[in-house]
Amino acid sequence: MEEPPDLMLVIGGYNSSNTNHLAHLCRQYTDTFHIQDASCIDVGTGTIKHKVELDPDAEEVLDKDWLPQGAFDLGITAGASTPNNKIGEALLRVLEIRGIAVELTAGLQST
C-alpha cells in the first residue's frame, strides 16, 4: 500500500510483546485498536474495547463511533500465536457492525 489504511485492528494478547510491538508500529501511521479477540467488539452497541498503552496492566478503553463513516481501508494484523479463527471472528464482527452479511461454509459440499 502506498498509503496506510484508515485504521488498523491488531489482534492478540495484551501480554504478548510481539502483538504490543505490532500495535506500537501501527499507531505511528494510523488509528490503531489493539484487541485480545472478537469479544472486544460489541456488535449490538457498535463499541470496541481495546488497549491504547503498551503496559499490559493498563486499563482497556471503550470507544464508540470508532469505525469511519462510508468506505474505508481496514488493515488487520495479529500476533504470531493468534489463531487464524480468532482473526476471522474479529473481521466478521466488524462486517456485521457495518451491516454486511457473510455466509460461511465449513467446507465444500460434494455433489
Question: What are the pLDDT digits (tens) for 71-100?
Answer: 999 999 999 999 999 999 999 999 999 998
Query: 18: part of which helix (H) or strand (E)?
Result: helix 17-27
For the residues of 26-43, what is the DSSP string, one character each?
Answer: HHTTSEEEEESSGGGEET
The CATH number of whichever domain residue 16 belongs to comes to: 3.40.1010.20
Question: What pTM was computed for the model?
Answer: 0.88
**Does residue 69 belong to any structural domain of this protein?**
yes
pLDDT in tens, 20-78: 999 999 999 999 999 999 999 999 999 999 998 877 788 999 999 999 999 999 999 99
Q: Look at the chain and report how many structural domains it folds into.
A: 1
Task: Say if residues 100 and 49 touch (Cβ distance below 8 Å).
Answer: no
Pairing of strands 74-78, 61-63: unpaired
Mention every residue, 6+ apart, whose C-beta is less than 8 A from residue 24. Answer: 54
Output the pLDDT for position 111: 44
Given CA atoms 69, 21, 48, 102 in this order, what sign does their dihedral have? positive
Domain that holds residue 21: 7-97
